[in-house]
Amino acid sequence: MVDGLIGIKLGMTQVFDEAGVVTPVTVIKAGPCVVVQKKSKDKDGYEAVQLGLVEFIRPKRVTKPRAGHFKKAGVNPCRVLREFGENAVGETAKIGDQVLVQQVFQPQEKVTVIGTSKGKGFAGLIKRHHFGGGAATHGSMFHRAPGSIGASAYPSRVLPGMRAAGHMGCDRVTVKGLKIVRIDEQENILLVQGAVPGRNGGYVVVKKA
C-alpha cells in the first residue's frame, strides 16, 4: 500500500483525553484518493504511485493532455496529483483503486506533513529574517535598517544569498514527527497533533514518518 495521502487542511481545534488533558490538533481531510498511474523502474527510472485527490473539478478546467492522462487510467479528472512510495505492507495498489485514510494510517502513528506556507507579501528584514535592528532611541537613525551588506573595496559587490527584504511566505514547508491523535473513517478526517503549514483550505501531503 502507498505510504501517504493528499489532504486538505480544514483548520485547528482541540481535543480532550480521558484524563482531561487538552491537545491542540489540526483537522485534515485526507483523501479519498485514486491511483492514476504506477511508475516502474524499467519505464520511468524509478518506482512510485501517482495519486489524485477525489474532488469535483469542472471539465473546462482540465487541459487536453491531462484529460487524456485520466482517460487512459479510466478515472475522473483530479485537480491535484502527487507521487508516493509503496511499501510491502498490505495490498499492492492498482490503477483505478481508491485509497482511504484507514488503509494507510493508524491512531498514534507519527507522520510528516508537507504544505505551502501562507503568503505574507513584501516584508522587511525584521519580519522576514528576524534581524534585531538598531537602537530605537537617542536619534540613532538606525532602527530597522539592514546594516552592512558587503565590503566597499573588495569584492565591491553584494554576495549571492545575502538576506534582504523581499517576498515572504508561499514556501514549501515540511513538518516531521506529528502524531495522529484520532481518525474519523466515515469522513476521512485526520486529527494531527500540533500545527500544519498553510492556510485553511490549502492542500497538504501526509506521509508516514
Domain harbouring 14, CATH code: 3.30.160.810
- Among 197, 18, 15, smallest CA distance to 113 is for 197
Backbone angles phi, psi at 97, to 5 degrees: -70, 145
Q: Is residue 159 part of a domain?
A: no
pLDDT per position as a tens digit, 66-114: 999 989 888 899 999 999 988 766 678 888 888 898 888 899 999 999 9
Quote the pLDDT of residue 141: 87
Give the predicted TM-score (pTM) of the model: 0.84
Higher pLDDT, 115 or 139: 115
Position 134, amino acid: G
Q: How far is Cα 209 from Cα 207, in angstroms, rounded to an integer?
A: 6
Quote the pLDDT of residue 90: 65
- Count of domains observed in the chain: 1
DSSP-assigned letter for residue 132: -
| Cβ–Cβ under 8 Å, residues 42 and 86 | no
Q: Distances in Å between the alpha carbon of 163 and those of 48, 154, 168? A: 37, 19, 12
Range of the domain at 203: 4-134+164-208
Confidence of residue 120 (pLDDT cuts 50, 70, 90): very high
Q: Is residue 151 part of a domain?
A: no
Q: Mean pLDDT across the stretch 14-20?
A: 89
Q: Is residue 152 part of a domain?
A: no
Position 89, amino acid: V
Quote the pLDDT of residue 151: 87
Nine cell digits for residue 148: 552592512
Instruction: Give me the residue label for grid cell 569584492.
Output: 155
Q: Mean pLDDT across the stretch 134-141?
A: 87
Give kind and range of the element (H or E) at residue 107: none
pLDDT per position as a tens digit, 142-199: 899 888 898 888 988 999 999 999 999 999 999 999 999 999 888 899 999 999 999 9
**pLDDT over 80 (residue 60):** yes
Q: How far is Cα 106 from Cα 113, in angstroms, rounded to an integer?
A: 15
Q: Is residue 148 part of a domain?
A: no
Nine cell digits for residue 178: 506529528
